[in-house]
Amino acid sequence: MLKGSIITVLSSEEKDAINIASMLGKRDRTEERVYYRKIGNMVRSILIPGIDSILEVARSLSISSSFYLSMSRFTWIEGELALLAEAANVPGVVLTSDVEMFMKFFKELGISRFVSTEFKEFDVDVVDRGLIFVDRVFNVRGVGVVALGYALTRVAVHDKFIAYPMNREVEVRSIQVLDDDQEEVMPGTRVGLALRNVRLEDVEDMQALVKPGTKFVGSINNFTKFRWSDDAREVHVIFNGIKVMGRLENGEVRLSKELPLVNGRALVINVNAKPRRPRIMGYVDISA
């Protein structure tokens, strides 16, 4: 049965990110910023989010099981990427030719233990988080509605899920991974799911598929704020790829839409931070 490793590559230099991704996998012919490599029964997915969108970088990290961070220079952009990697709470590799300079700026961060001057391949299995992150939904002639995303839980043909946020039950008709049909897959795999009992117009804004019986939460507590970040009230919350708005009040994040109560870390982003100040405010751990 196939399982997956999901890696986000972070760099302010596009050529560095592409170089790292190319050493880890082969560029997908249909997805411009995604690379893959199949190693035995594991499919490695390598994501290169564009740093021009902090929300997309956070979204990518929030579904990943590991990261690579290239530190070829030291500017506020590198500082923000380092805080994102820190907030994601996944292991990784921090590549730099100047360890002394990195430690000068970032020795307080936990990711400092991942510093390396040499590239190495690094995979971490995705822990079962109880949902499927969905990034695209479309119709395929002769098949029907197809959801494309990353399984962050075990998925089998005929499994039933609830489409989030529209709260509509669907059934998995078939599963494809890298154009091959599968009866069942483990967490971490990039999947195309043909869905039964649904129309595209009913689920075109779907962000996730959650298991029936999953509880939901409208606010989350125990927000941890980075001391380097500005205060804010209106924030974006990124959780297992799901993106919602939130309002900070006395250490509590009140959500504009309820989030599924599953395991993961919610990243809290302030897109309106002052220039050259980190937009990553902090994080909240959520557990079922």
| Domain with 106 in it | 3-116
Within this chain, do residues 171 and 255 fall inside the same structural domain, yes or no?
Answer: no
Terminal C-alpha separation, the chain: 26
Over residues 74-110, the pLDDT tens digits come to 999 999 999 999 999 999 999 999 999 999 999 999 9
Q: Based on the domain organization, do 202 and 255 belong to the same domain?
A: no
**Whole-Å CA distances, 188 to 130, 149, 234:** 12, 10, 31
- Residue 140 pLDDT grade (very low, low, confident, very high; cuts 50, 70, 90): very high
Residue where one domain finishes, among candidates 158, 177, 210: 210
Decide which of 161, 183, 210 is a domain's last residue: 210
Q: Is residue 224 part of a domain?
A: yes
Q: How many domains does the chain have?
A: 3
Residue 288 has a pLDDT of 80
Digit-coded pLDDT (tens) for 163-184: 999 999 999 999 999 989 999 9
**Domain containing residue 170: CATH number:** 2.40.30.10
CB 21, CB 14: distance < 8 Å: no
Mean per-residue pLDDT of the chain: 95
- The predicted structure's pLDDT at residue 30: 82
Give tens-digit pLDDT for 69-79: 999 889 999 99
Residue 106 and residue 163 in one domain: no
Taking 90 as the threshold, does the pLDDT of residue 28 lie above it?
no
On the question of a cis peptide bond just before residue 165, with omega within 30 degrees of 0, the verdict is yes
Most distant CA atoms of the chain, gap in Å: 58
Residue 105 forms part of a structural domain: yes
Angle at 189 between CA 168 and CA 263, to 5 degrees: 60
Per-residue pLDDT tens over the stretch 229-276: 999 999 999 999 999 999 998 889 999 999 999 999 999 999 999 998
CATH of the domain at 14: 3.40.50.300
